[in-house]
Chains A and B, each alone.
Chain A
Amino acid sequence: MEKVNLITSRTVVLPVENVDTDQIIPARFLKATSKIGLGKNLFADWRFDADGKPKADFILNRPEASGAAILVAGDNFGCGSSREHAPWALHDYGFRAVVSTSIADIFRNNALKNGLIPVVVDRAVHEKLLAAPDAIVTISVEDQTLTLADGTRTSFPIDPFARFCLLNGVDELEFLLAQEPAIAAFEKSRAG
């Protein structure tokens, strides 16, 4: 996994609550057997009409959204299914962080394993972000801070182990594989 620490970018604001994984990537795109290239299907039914033409009023289709790496969304982002295709699609599209007042459990776990930082902020900071789309924001994984354009800094929680993995580019699977003796001992203790 690539190391991740500082992310500085303009924000894209999607002020919708409970954005579910069926919106992030509809199920018909889950027939892929690779995780590469899913960004083209990100928010497919919100981005494109039935003929596949971009809907002009959807935020990702506006010129100011181009190149932005931080998505600010409403409460309970990523609810619904366990599909890791959701963070794969967001990351492939170019997002590196999602900011909300809360983020669904499975989505958060999946995001952290793919270099997509789930950032949970309080309502006051969230409202500031919603009110100022296109603001330049800096996120630091090491400091666990989000810094607004006006210099206001807020801290956010992140699982210490996930933070360690992000900062050092450690794949969780490598860590688990190194626990083989403990796993073998556990299996032996149960068999006895």
Chain B
Amino acid sequence: MKPRTMFQKIWEAHLVRPASADTPAILYVDLHLIHEVTSPQAFTWLREKNLKVRRPERTVATMDHSTPTTPRGRDGKIQVLDNAAALQIAALEKNCADFGIELHALGSDGQGIVHVIGPELGLTQPGAIIVCGDSHTSTHGAFGALAFGIGTSEVSHVLATQSLLQQPPKTLAVTIEGTLRPGVTAKDVILAVVARLGIGGGNGHVIEYRGSAIRALSMEERMTVCNMSIEAGARAGMIAPDETTFAYLEGRPRAPKGAAWDKAVAAWRSLPSDPGAAFDREEKFDADKLEPMITYGTNPGMGISIGGPIPAPSNATAEKALAYMGLTGEKKLLGHKIDVVFIGSCTNSRLSDLRAAAGIFKGRKVAEGVRVLVVPGSQAIKKAAEAEGLDRVFREAGADWREAGCSMCIAMNGDQLKPGQYAVSTSNRNFEGRQGAGGRTFLASPVTAAASAITGRITDAREMV
């Protein structure tokens, strides 16, 4: 048999019908994650057509995008003061009740960012096809799943038929060999990949991240890497499952148990790409040469090593980006004054991210005039962080410790920048206005963000350790 990539194996195992000259492939979806922002119209269409959800047991909902992260009231509840957000949240509650879908409602134990709770609950499993009306669904590929973002029309397709029409993408191997140097994190790896590929460089491709540096990453780090595949235009990013994957999943609430677990692991071991499997394209990176990264522009591909100069603009689009950012080409970013630090998002809001940030905050104070928001990715992470006292470290340093949600990554929930403000953010997008109209974002790792919070300026965290 011809050697196959992991992508091909998963694709072929889910073909309800292969692609023909006239029609795309029909793929079966194992897990459909939904949230309040990209699902209401899909449910409206289902009702209009008098359709049911075909597999409610393969559908899981939570609330994250438009939900506030402000502290709970005396009654222990999270208050939603924004009327439009409240309506959207109520719509999801009703849709889940009417169609029999499991919902992790606002403030409940299982609630959190959709791409954080899937893995946490053990719903995200190797070999699965996972979709969600959100482009950062690529996160789940860290487990050796094929996971990608879809639009709301497609959300309605999956709700009604548990299937999707898809044209087969191309495959891109991103091979990273070697050892990351101290102070270089998974976030720096993916920012370097996106900087090399460019924001559209992965269009039409599914990325498989491979090589010794990837193998050495924890599951949380792998999720950070796969999460930002879409920032290079690739709809999905994936990493072959291995002992690290199995150890993370074993015992999680929704992972298989007993004999079913052994059977599942045996099947998962056959998923990695076969030796000699051909990719349409390959990009190689030397892990030992990677530096902490930061973005300077208005898309995630505009990244540099933290000590490097901002590239001189080469065209009108680059000039527009620098003008928006209020920056000058060929100057350094290090030492640039900032107003806000945001630690959170589906990229970097997991327990290991919070621990890394807390390591910098411990015994230090946030610089005068800098606002710092630390937002755990889920209620479970919030609880775990509080159990080990991380919340106290953040508070004592002068940072805000919040409820779980997307928060300032998407700025549609009350957490946002003021026009002109500069923020170092651990999130995934630095588009104009992404964190609030007129706001200016530098994307970086949790340690870079924390170090910059302490000095009030863009700082190389390696100088603080």
With A32-B84, A80-B431, A183-B162 known to touch, is A27 a contact of B412 (CB < 8 Å)? yes
Given the known interface contacts A81-B134, A84-B38, A161-B23, the answer about A172 and B200 at a Cβ–Cβ threshold of 8 Å is no
How distant is the Cα of A109 from the Cα of B151 in the complex, in angstroms? Answer: 8
Contact between B235 and A30, CB atoms less than 8 A apart: no
A82 in contact with B203 (CB, 8 Å):
no
Given contacts A173-B160, A183-B162, contact A82 B233 (CB under 8 A): no
**A177 in contact with B161 given A33-B40, A80-B135, A84-B152 (CB within 8 Å):** yes
In which size bucket is the chain B interface?
35 or more
B362 at the interface (CB under 8 A from A): no
Most buried by B among A16, A34, A109, A176: A176
Residues A173 and B157 in contact, CB atoms below 8 Å apart: yes
CB–CB A179/B161 < 8 A: yes
A18 proximal to B (CB < 8 A): yes
Task: Contacts A28-B411, A104-B233, A106-B151 given; indicate if A20 touches B299 (C-beta within 8 A).
Answer: yes
Stretch at the interface among B14-22, B328-336, B456-464: B14-22
Asked whether A45 and B38 contact (CB < 8 A) given A113-B151, A113-B153, the answer is no
Q: Is the CB of B412 within 8 A of A18?
A: no
Tell me which residues across on chain A come within 8 A of B235, comparing CB atoms.
105-106
CA of A162 to CA of B200, assembled, Å: 23
96-132 of chain A: CB within 8 A of chain B = 102, 104-106, 109-110, 113-114
Question: Would A183 and B299 count as touching, CB distance under 8 A?
Answer: no
**Contact pick for A82, options B21, B38, B40, B161, CB 8 Å:** B38
What is the distance, in angstroms, from B349's C-beta to the closest C-beta of chain A?
18
A23 within 8 A of B: yes
Task: Mark the stretch among A2-10, A55-63, A71-79, A148-156 that contacts chain B.
Answer: A71-79
- Cross-chain contact A84 with B153 (CB below 8 angstroms): yes
CB <8 Å contact, A75 and B200? yes
Query: In the complex, what distance in Å separates the CA atom of A16 from the CA atom of B412?
Result: 25
User: Once the chains are docked, how many angstroms separate the CA of A176 from the CA of B200?
Assistant: 30
Please give the distance in Å from A18's CB to the nearest CB on chain B: 5
Contact A102 B203 (CB under 8 A): yes
Interface residue count on the A side (C-beta < 8 Å): 51
Within 8 Å CB of B199, what residues of A? 18, 76, 79
A182 interface residue, CB < 8 Å from B? yes
9-residue interface stretch from B101-109, B243-251, B433-441:
B433-441
Structural contact, A164 and B22, CB atoms closer than 8 A: yes
CA distance A26 to B432 in the complex (A): 9
Least CB separation from B153: chain A residue: A113
Q: How far is the CB of A73 from chain B (nearest CB, A)?
A: 11
Q: Is the CB of A33 within 8 A of B91?
A: yes
Give the residue name and chain of the A residue nearest to B419 (CB): A50
Given A15-B316, A35-B41, A82-B38, is A76 in contact with B412 using a C-beta cutoff of 8 Å?
Answer: no
Query: Which residues in B have their C-beta under 8 angstroms from that of A27?
Result: 65, 410-412, 434
Contact with A along B225-243 (1 / 0, CB 8 A): 0000010010100000000
In the assembly, what is the distance between CA of A106 and CA of B41, in Å?
A: 18
Q: Is B320 an interface residue (CB 8 A)?
A: yes
Is B28 positioned at the interface, with any CB of A under 8 Å from its CB?
A: yes
Q: How far is the CA of A98 from the CA of B119 in the complex (A)?
A: 37
Once the chains bind, are B167 and A173 in contact (CB under 8 Å)? no
Distance in Å: Cβ of A44 to nearest Cβ of chain B: 8
What 0/1 pattern do residues 404 to 432 of B give for CB contact below 8 A with A?
00000011100000010000000001011
Query: In the complex, which residues 144-191 of chain A have their Cβ closer than 8 Å to any Cβ of chain B?
Result: 159-161, 164, 172-173, 175-177, 179-180, 182-183, 186-187, 190
Tell me the bound Cα distance from A18 to B199 in angstroms.
8
Chain B residues contacting A47 (CB-CB under 8 Å) are: none
Contacts of B412 in A (CB 8 A): 27-28, 30-31
A109-B161 in contact (CB<8A): no
Contacts of A134 in B (CB 8 A): none
**Given known contacts A74-B317, A82-B135, is B82 in contact with A160 (CB within 8 Å)?**
no
B432 — which chain A residues lie within 8 A by C-beta?
A: 22-23, 45
Residue A92 interfacial (CB < 8 Å) = no
The reply to whether B437 and A50 contact each other, CB–CB distance below 8 Å, is: yes
Q: Are B16 and A179 in contact (CB under 8 A)?
A: yes
Residues 17-45 of B, flagged 1 when their CB comes within 8 A of A and 0 if not, give 10001111010100000000110110011
Give the distance to chain B from A12, nearest Cβ to Cβ, in Å: 17
CB pair A34–B41 under 8 Å, yes or no, is: yes
| CB-CB nearest in chain A for B316 | A15
Assess whether B153 is in contact with A182, with CB atoms less than 8 Å apart.
no
Question: Does B163 interact with chain A (Cβ within 8 Å)?
Answer: yes
- Are B65 and A30 in touch, CB under 8 angstroms? yes
Contact indicator B233/A76 (Cβ below 8 Å):
yes
> What is the CA–CA distance of A175 and B91 in the complex, to the nearest angstrom?
27
- Taking CB atoms, residues of chain B closer than 8 Å to A102 are 200, 203
Residue of A nearest to B315 (CB): A17
- From A23, A31, A50, A172, contact of B153 by CB (8 A): A172
**Within the assembled complex, what's the spacing in Å between the Cα atoms of A68 and B199?**
29
B153 engages A110 (CB within 8 Å): yes
- Smallest Cβ-Cβ distance to A103: which chain B residue: B203
Q: List, sorted by A's number, 29 A–B pairs whose CB atoms are closer than 8 Å.
A: A16-B320, A17-B317, A27-B434, A31-B82, A33-B40, A33-B41, A33-B44, A35-B41, A45-B437, A45-B438, A74-B317, A79-B233, A83-B37, A84-B38, A106-B235, A109-B150, A109-B154, A110-B151, A110-B153, A113-B153, A159-B24, A172-B157, A175-B165, A176-B26, A179-B17, A179-B26, A183-B28, A187-B28, A190-B28
15 further interface pairs, Cβ-Cβ under 8 Å (given A83-B37, A175-B165): A16-B317, A18-B299, A18-B317, A22-B429, A22-B434, A31-B66, A31-B82, A31-B412, A79-B200, A80-B429, A106-B135, A159-B167, A164-B22, A172-B165, A177-B161
